[in-house]
Amino acid sequence: MNRIYLFFIAFLALFSSIRAQDMPADSKAVELFIEAKTLELKDNYLAAISKYNDALKIEKAAGIYFALSKLYSNVTQHQKALENGLEAIRINPGNLDYKEHVADTYIILGDYTNALKYLKEISEKKPDDINILYNVGRMYEAMKMPSEAVKYYDNITENYQYDETVLIRMAEIYESFNDYSNTAATVEKLLVLNPTDINLKYSAAASYVKVPDYDNAIRIYEDILSTNPNNRDVQTEVIKLYFRQHRNTEAFEKYSKLINRDSIDFMTKMDVAVAFMQAAAEDKEAMGVSRNILQNLQASYPGEWMPEYYLIYLDSKDNPGEAETRFENLLARVDTSAELYVQTGFYYYEQNKFRQSVEIFKKGFEKFPGDYRLGYLTGNSYYRLGENRNALPFLEKAIEVNPQDLNTISTLGLVYDDLKMNDECDVLYEQAFKFYPDNIMLLNNYAYHLSERGVKLQEAKEMSRKTIEKEPDNSSYLDTYGWILFKLKDYKNAIIYIERAIKQGKNETLYDHLGDVYEAQGEIVKALKAWNEALALNPNNDAIKQKVNKYK
């Protein structure tokens, strides 16, 4: 019997990894335990669980509880797995395997606090166990305590080994802290494991840029270029970093190589400065780079107005009043460039300061009557002021200089329309369609103009149909088509298209049109409702007020 018992102990040691002192002492309990283990090995889990529970009725051994706990885990009954695991620990609190299994169960159940408790107890006894250190870190992350997690990851990295998974976790945590210096250092450790990984190199360089540590960023970018010298994106980044370090000469030398030139002329350098200025919306440091380049160009090219103009423009964000004075002084000193008038006038135009923009554009057009842009911009500024009579001669002169300019054609058409210059309007659009037969903006504007006059309605309908075919959700185009149908007395379909226009974007004109269609159908209640909707958007519209008052 003793020999058989010893055989059983060997059997258990082989299949359950349970220490001998945790095994049941009672022979019947041992026999049931072995039967349970045999059933478990045959994947007969339910019968095995029953046998383990029978063994527990005879003897409350830690080994039986542990075996039962693991089996419950296998069949995803994790609460029962936890209960049995805790019983095993209660009987033998020094068994680290039991604690690790219970910690894993707590993790599955989402109880990270208790999981962490047991993992830290294991770590104190097994301080060199990298897996336990990593799992402690993961628990701290799960508990939203990344600063504690990174301590354990750093312990693994500095004292044991570089582990890719651990380093990735560290880099992500440092990145979340905006600790770009440690992020970069961690990614460089990843590069020790993966020295050819181009994405890691990009990541390290980008982190160094955020520190900012431009020397190390350039070092990594240059390393990328050593194996891929034609990588234009990396070349561009290196150029940016040279500019940020105020190493403009080297930056322009590299830029000249990038665009395959022996040297860089003034306008190309200006293009670089303006490109950085435009990039500042996404990269705030780019504005400083642009300013640095412009200051350098102003010193190097004292006879050029563009660096000074753009420096004033940059300063205008913080001190607009001073900027306007500086613009005036610049124009007084430099009056030989049409482009300066265009740019300075547009500075005011984009701020809706049309009275100021019109004066600058007009003065420029007087000096440079062959520059149609200044004629168009003068006329357009007057148009935006609502002064169509003043706009007219400038737009007509601009169209004489450049009959194909779409902006001038479009604005002049609107001015002709507002001034009821119908014959001139017809000639303008007929000429424009020779250049732009399918331009939907011109088609819409002329179709609406014809519908307002009540002439050539079938022709207008065909033009308008083309616009909604190309842009079926454009509110203005839908309204034009609906309004033409109204003029053709197709009220049912007119309502359909105007209501579609309203769904895309409400405004007083759309509701006014809808009210007019309902009135034509004799549906006065609906008409009044639509007109009142229009008045809610603009209570000062006297024309619509008169329509409403008519039915009071």
Instruction: Write out the DSSP string of 356-410.
Output: HHHHHHHHHHHH-TT-HHHHHHHHHHHHHTT-HHHHHHHHHHHHHH-TT-HHHHH
Residue range 337-364: mean pLDDT, rounded: 94
Cβ atoms of 399 and 408 within 8 Å: the answer is: yes
Answer yes or no: is pLDDT of 429 > 90: yes
Question: pLDDT tens digits, residue range 227-246?
Answer: 888 887 888 788 888 888 87
Is 84 inside any structural domain? yes
Answer yes or no: is pLDDT of 53 > 70: yes
Give the pLDDT of residue 228: 86
Across 167-176, 254-263, 272-281, 412-421, the highest mean pLDDT is recorded for: 412-421
Q: Which of 38, 42, 43 is nearest to 52 (CA)?
A: 38
Angle at which helices 130-142 and 146-159 pack, to 10 degrees? 160
DSSP 541: -
Share of the chain above pLDDT 90, in %: 58
* Whole-number Cα distances in Å, 191 to 77, 167, 185, 196, 198: 43, 10, 10, 7, 9
Give the pLDDT of residue 16: 46
Question: pLDDT tens digits, residue range 115-141?
Answer: 889 888 888 888 888 888 888 888 888
User: Scanning the structure block, which residue is given the tokens 């299994």?
Assistant: 101
Cβ atoms of 469 and 499 within 8 Å: the answer is: no
Residue range 66-92: mean pLDDT, rounded: 91
Residue count (the chain): 552
Number of domains present in the structure of the chain: 1
Give the pLDDT of residue 447: 95
Q: Which of 414, 353, 412 is nearest to 385 (CA)?
A: 353
Lowest mean pLDDT among 86-95, 269-278, 478-487, 507-516: 269-278
Give the pLDDT of residue 12: 44
Give the pLDDT of residue 446: 95
Calculate the CA 200 to chain-centre distance.
22
* Whole-number Cα distances in Å, 167 to 138, 192, 284, 514: 13, 11, 30, 65
Whether cis (ω within 30° of 0) applies to the bond prior to 229 is: no
What's the mean per-residue pLDDT of the chain?
A: 89
Residue range 479-487: mean pLDDT, rounded: 96
Cβ atoms of 142 and 134 within 8 Å: the answer is: no
Residue range 204-232: mean pLDDT, rounded: 89
Q: Which of 50, 52, 2 is nearest to 23 (CA)?
A: 52
Is 45 inside any structural domain? yes
User: Scanning the structure block, which residue is given the tokens 């005879």?
Assistant: 58
Is 94 inside any structural domain? yes
Answer yes or no: is pLDDT of 17 > 80: no
Residue range 252-257: mean pLDDT, rounded: 77
Give the pLDDT of residue 19: 59
Q: Give CA–CA dist 382/357, Å, rounded.
A: 9
Across 80-94, 157-171, 212-226, 372-386, the highest mean pLDDT is recorded for: 372-386
Classify residue 280 as exposed, middle or buried by CB count within 10 Å of its CB (0-12, 13-18, 19+).
middle
Q: Which residues contact 445 (CB under 8 A, 6 or more apart)?
A: 410, 413, 414, 417, 429
Q: What is the CATH number of the domain that holds 104?
A: 1.25.40.10
Q: Is the pTM of this model over 0.75?
A: no
Lowest mean pLDDT among 101-105, 234-238, 319-323, 538-542: 234-238
Lowest mean pLDDT among 21-35, 229-243, 257-271: 257-271
Is 82 inside any structural domain? yes
Is 96 inside any structural domain? yes
Cβ atoms of 110 and 79 within 8 Å: the answer is: no
Give the pLDDT of residue 417: 94
Tokens linked to 249: 């000469």
Lowest mean pLDDT among 138-142, 232-236, 256-260, 434-438: 256-260
DSSP 9: H
Is 225 inside any structural domain? no
Give the pLDDT of residue 487: 95
pLDDT band at 3 (very low <50, low <70, confident <90, very high): very low
Answer yes or no: is pLDDT of 300 > 50: yes
SS3 76: coil
Domain span at residue 10 reads: 1-109
Is 102 inside any structural domain? yes
Question: pLDDT tens digits, residue range 176-201?
Answer: 889 999 999 999 999 999 999 999 99
pLDDT band at 143 (very low <50, low <70, confident <90, very high): confident
User: Scanning the structure block, which residue is given the tokens 């205008």?
Assistant: 316
Q: Give CA–CA dist 192/175, Å, rounded.
A: 19
pLDDT band at 21 (very low <50, low <70, confident <90, very high): low
SS3 per residue for 269-325: HHHHHHHHHHHCCCCCHHHHHHHHHHHHHHHHCCCCCHHHHHHHHHHCCCCHHHHHH
Q: Give CA–CA dist 38/40, Å, rounded.
A: 5
Cβ atoms of 413 and 405 within 8 Å: the answer is: no
pLDDT band at 13 (very low <50, low <70, confident <90, very high): very low
Is 259 inside any structural domain? no
Where is pLDDT greater, at 141 or 345? 345
Q: Give CA–CA dist 430/80, Å, rounded.
A: 86
Tokens linked to 169: 């976790």
Cβ atoms of 520 and 495 within 8 Å: the answer is: no
